[in-house]
Amino acid sequence: MNIHEYQGKELLRRYGVAVLDGHVASTPEEAEAAARKLPGPVYVVKSQIHAGGRGAGRFKEDPNGKGGVRVVKTVEDAKAAAAAMLGKTLVTKQTGETGRVVSRVYVEAGCHIARELYLGLLVDRATSRVTVMASTEGGMEIEEVAADHPEKILRVAVDPASGISGFHARKLAFGLGLKGGQVSAFTKFVTALYRAFTELDCAIVEINPLVVTGAGEVVALDAKVSFDDNALFRHKDLEALRDDGEMDPKELDAVRHDLNYVALDGEIGCMVNGAGLAMATMDIIKLYGSSPANFLDVGGTADAARVTEAFRIITSDANVKAILVNIFGGIAKCDMIASGIVAASKNLHLQVPLVVRLEGTNVELGKKILAESGLSIIPAENLADAAEKAVRAVKGAA
């Protein structure tokens, strides 16, 4: 789960991570009042969306105007900047063409930047450790740095048993070229950040840029905080930070029904059980010349209720021209799944071609139920056959 910059900074502040003063606002008037609470004389008005690249982004309503992060010198200008952002659609490298509507801005104290660095914490699956990444190339996307100048990324893996120590911090600080008091400021910063990361069960915390100010302080200018969904049950208070407005409505719908759904931009809706099967199904659809409209994993219990919800979500996407069901009946037996598919198709008066491939326990009975349902379900023998028939159904519909 991702949260906004202002929420991330608020959390990090509690752990003693150095951030600047700021206030969130959802109207231009609130933005002006927020600026008045800050010392000035420089304020920064920042669009709050779940995507980076805001500074270099552009608003759809004003493509030649300024970006989603603006530095201003008066409280009136802070109000004007907020008015130019709120309710507008910000398009950045990370949002894609559709962009995101800005419904809140963060009004933050302006900062005199001497150096922009990069600091990121993530769980490295290969080493099963939290890895701290740092780079002198702050402000740039770390993926680009990794591709063009991998030698400029410093990495330190932290043993979970002993936690972060002065040694880790100094190694990074010296690698970043920090001097004197900056080293101890950085040590304090990264130690507090590591504590926040582990105690909040984060998946990623990215501070880009981490800045050294003119006064030699080390401060987080941006904060991307993402939590491990599997640990959210331990943090009921964090659930409240979820911004439903940032999610694809179909994905939100799926979360509510405990289905794993990822919206994609193709034309074949896929209903599968298990992520591996989903990957294979998407690959083979591509191989046969079409592309998946989604990734929907119904999980272990493919009963009528869940299949109905799954079909409803899939068909609410207007791009879906056919549905491919690819289910392996193990614990949930094929006959039960087939009954679920038949009931769901009838409930929803399914209009698009439906290709079904079942395999596993009671498969013959399952196929019989589908064949005798009176519905025009297209049965498939295997994965290749299923993909070929689904693609043909789509091409036929076009």
Binding-site residue set: 46, 53-55, 108, 111, 116, 208, 222, 273, 330-332
- The active-site residue out of 5, 32, 206, 246 is 206
Among the candidate windows 82-90, 104-112, 290-298, 341-349, which touches ligand ADP by CB under 6 A?
A: 104-112
d(CA 119, CA 142): 10
Q: Which does 221 bind (CB under 5 to 8 A by kind): ligand ADP, Mg ion, none?
A: ligand ADP
Between residues 216 and 249, which has the closer beta carbon with respect to ligand ADP? 216
Strand, coil or helix: 6: helix
The CA-atom distances, in angstroms, between 181 and each of 60, 137, 170, 285 are 44, 21, 12, 57
282 conformational bin, left if phi > 0, alpha if psi -120 to 50, beta if neither: alpha
Active-site residue flag, 261: no
241 Cβ neighbours under 8 A, 6+ residues apart: 1, 3, 4, 7
Distance of closest approach, residue 2 Cβ to ligand ADP, in angstroms: 13
Distance of closest approach, residue 305 Cβ to ligand ADP, in angstroms: 41
Between residues 42 and 352, which has the closer beta carbon with respect to Mg ion? 42
Positive or negative, the CA dihedral 366, 368, 369, 375 is positive
204 Cβ neighbours under 8 A, 6+ residues apart: 120, 121, 122, 224, 225, 226
Residue span 109-148 as binding mask against ligand ADP, x where in contact by CB under 6 A, dash where not: -xx-x--x----------------------x---------
Q: Is residue 69 a contact point for ligand ADP (CB under 6 A)?
A: yes
The CA-atom distances, in angstroms, between 153 and each of 105, 118, 158, 226 are 31, 9, 16, 21
Distance of closest approach, residue 46 Cβ to ligand ADP, in angstroms: 6
* Cis peptide bond N-terminal to 63, omega within 30: no
Between residues 119 and 164, which has the closer beta carbon with respect to ligand ADP? 119
* Cis peptide bond N-terminal to 209, omega within 30: yes
Q: Is residue 310 a contact point for ligand ADP (CB under 6 A)?
A: no
- The active-site residue out of 43, 118, 261, 288 is 118
Distance of closest approach, residue 51 Cβ to Mg ion, in angstroms: 10
In terms of Cα–Cα distance, which of 213, 226, 167, 208 is closest to 191? 167
Contact 193, 17 (CB under 8 A): yes
What is the footprint of ligand ADP within residues 31-50 (CB under 6 A)? 44, 46
Residue type, 63: P
Q: Which two tokens stand for residue 52?
A: 């980076």
Give the DSSP H or E segment for 259. Answer: none
Active-site residue flag, 359: no
Between residues 77 and 116, which has the closer beta carbon with respect to ligand ADP? 116
Distance of closest approach, residue 112 Cβ to ligand ADP, in angstroms: 8
Residue 244 is given by DSSP the state G
Q: Which does 299 bind (CB under 5 to 8 A by kind): ligand ADP, Mg ion, none?
A: none
Between residues 222 and 267, which has the closer beta carbon with respect to Mg ion? 222
d(CA 91, CA 63): 9
d(CA 29, CA 100): 22
Q: Which does 391 bind (CB under 5 to 8 A by kind): ligand ADP, Mg ion, none?
A: none
Q: Could you tell me how many residues of this chain bind ligand ADP (CB under 6 A)?
A: 19
Q: Which residue's CB comes closest to Mg ion?
A: 222
Residue type, 345: S
Q: Which two tokens stand for residue 183?
A: 């080293």
Residues that bind Mg ion (CB under 5 A): 208, 222
Distance of closest approach, residue 244 Cβ to ligand ADP, in angstroms: 21
Q: Is residue 388 a contact point for ligand ADP (CB under 6 A)?
A: no
The catalytic site residues sit at 118, 206
Q: Give me the residues that bind ligand ADP (CB under 6 A), please.
A: 20, 44, 46, 52-55, 69, 71, 108, 110-111, 113, 116, 139, 208-209, 221-222
